[in-house]
Amino acid sequence: MTATPLKYSRADWIMGVAALLVLAISALIMLWPQGPAPPNIQGAILPTPKPLSAFRLTDHQGQPFTHTDLNGDWHLISYGFTHCPDICPTTLFELAEFRRQLEEHGRFTDLQVLFYTIDPIRDTRAKLADYVPWFHDTFIGLRANNQTQADAFQTNLGLTAQVSPSDDPADYDVAHGMRLYLIDSQGRYRASLEPTKDRDGSQYYEPERLLEDYLALRSWSNQLR
């Protein structure tokens, strides 16, 4: 006996694809925690907040800074290096203006801005102490004391950075991403924020947009309680 292959019409094919799409959307709805719809931000919101694994760093005053120090307040984490000629100082300027606007707004001011260096060889504690508070006196600089500490922290957030080899140990290139990471008052990774991108390839943060997205995230988070 010879099996006869089934024949499907174009309409059958379209209906099959539509059914698969409905199933996929239903699965996404089921995976996303029930509650108020998340805000539309310039970045990404984690469907489920991610608790950060244990890490140990040192702040620009020489004091230990661990995952437990993230509890209590919200934190916004930026990263880079002090020898950065443009992106890092520009981002910190923009964060300082965002912080000023937040204080003026008066809501959800329990936010600490952190700057983590991906170049701890050149960025000593003293260097961070001179650099980070210059942008805003509440900003805190952080550094790892060894590669194990760096890996533990950077893996938590998925930070992207690359150091190019050089014959001069004091002069080398460092490339890194520009995302900002928002950590809630329970020390959980809640959302990442992305810079504005122009057609010419330039990227930067708009303090007004940062404020809008941050306030929307905080208001939404309060509704989930």
Place of tokens 């508070």: 133
Place of tokens 């900003």: 139
pLDDT value, residue 164: 75
Q: How confident is the model over 38-91, as pLDDT tens digits?
A: 899 999 999 899 999 999 999 999 999 999 999 999 999 999 999 988 899 999
Q: Is 84 annotated as a binding residue?
A: yes
Q: Is 67 annotated as a binding residue?
A: no
Q: Is 105 annotated as a binding residue?
A: no
pLDDT value, residue 215: 97
* Contact predicate 141/64, CB 8 Å: no
pLDDT value, residue 23: 62
pLDDT value, residue 8: 44
Domains and CATH numbers, the chain: 54-163+172-223 (3.40.30.10)
Spatial separation of the C-alpha atoms in residues 173 and 84, rounded to whole Å = 9
Task: Count other C-beta atoms under 10 Å from residue 80's C-beta.
Answer: 22
188-191, Cβ contacts within 8 angstroms, sequence gap of 24 or more: 188/49, 188/50, 188/51, 188/52, 189/46, 189/49, 189/50, 189/51, 189/52, 189/156, 189/157, 190/45, 190/46, 190/49, 190/217, 190/221, 191/41, 191/43, 191/44, 191/45, 191/46, 191/217
pLDDT value, residue 1: 44
Place of tokens 């209906």: 15
pTM: 0.82
pLDDT value, residue 36: 81
Q: Which residues of the chain have pLDDT under 70?
A: 1-34, 165-170, 225
